[in-house]
Amino acid sequence: MTRFILRSPLRHPLQTFLVNSTILLSQPAKYIYNNALYTTTSAFDRAPPLPTSLNQPQINNSYHHRRKLHTTTSTFKTHLRKMSSENSPPPTETTAGTTGKWQPANYMKFGNERTRPVYDLISQVLPHIPSSNSPLTIYDLGCGPGNSTQALLSFFPTAHITGLDSSREMISAAQNSSWPASSNVEFAEGDISTFTPPPATDLVFSNAVFHWLRSSERLPALVKILQGLKSGAVLAFQVPDNYDEPSHRLMRDIATLPSTPWTPFFQNTRIGDISDSSRPDLDPIEAIPDIYDAFLSGGAASISVWRTEYQHALAGPGSIVEWVRTTGLRPFLDRTGDEEGVRRQFLEAYEEAVGREYRELKDGRVLLRYPRLFCVVVKK
């Protein structure tokens, strides 16, 4: 059996921009951006994806590539400025929305941090995109409020990009964002679990979405997408891989505490038991060798998979709660229905536990460790 493991030397000038605007560390696999320390590891490749010298990134030399990089750096800076940041004052109220719907504005409170992996993923897609005059056809699965779509557009300004999302609120937020008149971007409601790429598709991209599928659905859906792609087309996705992180373990621990006001709301579900699909906790991400094998059998010409452990310096435990309450904590909060008092008590207990687990730094902040799994697959 032949195995293809991509070792791309590419480092994107965006990273030069990021690195130049921050503190350099001596370790090539570590860097600081926006008050967050990042460490990068690669599952199959001993050498980390970051270059030996962060100051002198190795750039893909094709003209097509350089042109793209040049035109996107300023767009990226503007994009960063536009994004709301966790540096804004932390919100004071601690109750979650009661609707169970996605809340685009709250999601984007940490827009910089959440969009960071989009750029990291795109940087590893670029070497696989052929130089051609014809506009690319791109799908952004689970486009959310359009932040990942905007990043894609900045790299592929002539592409026809379709953002799909199952949340009406997110699609509406994406549609209401400002898009350049010249751009060819559209949004539609859709379910990624049944998505099949049209034949002309060049890139299926998905950032922070497939972890919302149950494990039994996830790899089959991804492999089906790969199988539907034409030769040379790319499937690229990133999923949070934080099932065992304190932030997520504590959700399960607090929800399963006995004799609490919220206990009745969770008693019909087996939290932490992955055979119970009705439970609020998301499934752990599959083992990397299983992911690799699934794509190999699904018709991959090359598979690049890696894990990056972001370290976000947030204002305090309340910010960690604020971060997860619009994402992984939401299914837990939805369980408490409209019982505002119960939800608040649950959140307070969770925040207290988070405060015990994440120690305060010298500047009063806490580091939210956030591992994410990335995969770029090229169709045979």
Ligand X SMILES: C[S@@+](CC[C@H](N)C(=O)[O-])C[C@H]1O[C@@H](n2cnc3c(N)ncnc32)[C@H](O)[C@@H]1O
In the bound complex, what is the minimum distance in angstroms from residue 42's beta carbon to ligand X? 21
How far apart, in Å, are the Cα atoms of 210 and each of 26, 27, 60, 114, 192? 34, 31, 29, 15, 8
In the bound complex, what is the minimum distance in angstroms from residue 145's beta carbon to ligand X? 7
In the bound complex, what is the minimum distance in angstroms from residue 166's beta carbon to ligand X? 4
In the bound complex, what is the minimum distance in angstroms from residue 127's beta carbon to ligand X? 21
Identify which of residues 109 and 342 has a Cβ nearer to ligand X in the complex.
109
The site for ligand X, by CB under 6 A, has a size of: 21
Identify which of residues 49 and 328 has a Cβ nearer to ligand X in the complex.
328
Q: Is 118 in the site for ligand X (CB under 6 A)?
A: yes
Identify which of residues 330 and 335 has a Cβ nearer to ligand X in the complex.
330
With CB under 6 A as the contact rule, the residue among 193, 227, 311, 345 that binds ligand X is 193
Helix, strand or coil, per DSSP, at residue 147? helix
Tell how strand 184-189 and strand 203-207 pair up: unpaired
Helix, strand or coil, per DSSP, at residue 60? coil
Alpha helix ranges (H) inside 25-146 = 63-82, 104-107, 111-125
With CB under 6 A as the contact rule, the residue among 125, 152, 192, 219 that binds ligand X is 192
With CB under 6 A as the contact rule, the residue among 170, 219, 222, 347 that binds ligand X is 170
Alpha helix ranges (H) inside 229-256 = 246-255
Half-sphere exposure in the Cβ direction for 207 (13 Å, CA)? 24
Nearest to 308 by CA among 240, 256, 253, 260: 240
| Backbone angle region of 356, left / alpha / beta, with phi > 0 → left and psi within -120 to 50 → alpha | alpha
Span of 110-118, 246-254, 315-323, 329-337 interacting with ligand X by CB under 6 A? 110-118
In the bound complex, what is the minimum distance in angstroms from residue 119's beta carbon to ligand X? 10
Identify which of residues 10 and 164 has a Cβ nearer to ligand X in the complex.
164
* Farthest-apart Cα atoms in the chain, separation: 65
Tell how strand 300-314 and strand 366-379 pair up: antiparallel
* C-alpha–C-alpha distance, residues 192 and 183, integer Å: 24
What is the footprint of ligand X within residues 124-153 (CB under 6 A)? 142-144, 147-148
Contact 79, 155 (CB under 8 A): no
Identify which of residues 102 and 306 has a Cβ nearer to ligand X in the complex.
102
What is the footprint of ligand X within residues 203-232 (CB under 6 A)? 207-209, 212
What is the footprint of ligand X within residues 66-105 (CB under 6 A)? 102
Identify which of residues 191 and 340 has a Cβ nearer to ligand X in the complex.
191
Q: Is 114 in the site for ligand X (CB under 6 A)?
A: yes
In the bound complex, what is the minimum distance in angstroms from residue 26's beta carbon to ligand X? 31
Contact 139, 197 (CB under 8 A): yes
Task: Give the x/- contact pattern for ligand X in 284-323, rule: CB under 6 A.
Answer: ----------------------------------------
Q: What is the CA radius of gyration of the chain?
A: 20
Structure tokens at 242: 């934080």
Interface positions with ligand X (CB under 6 A): 102, 114-115, 118, 142-144, 147-148, 165-167, 170, 191-193, 207-209, 212, 327
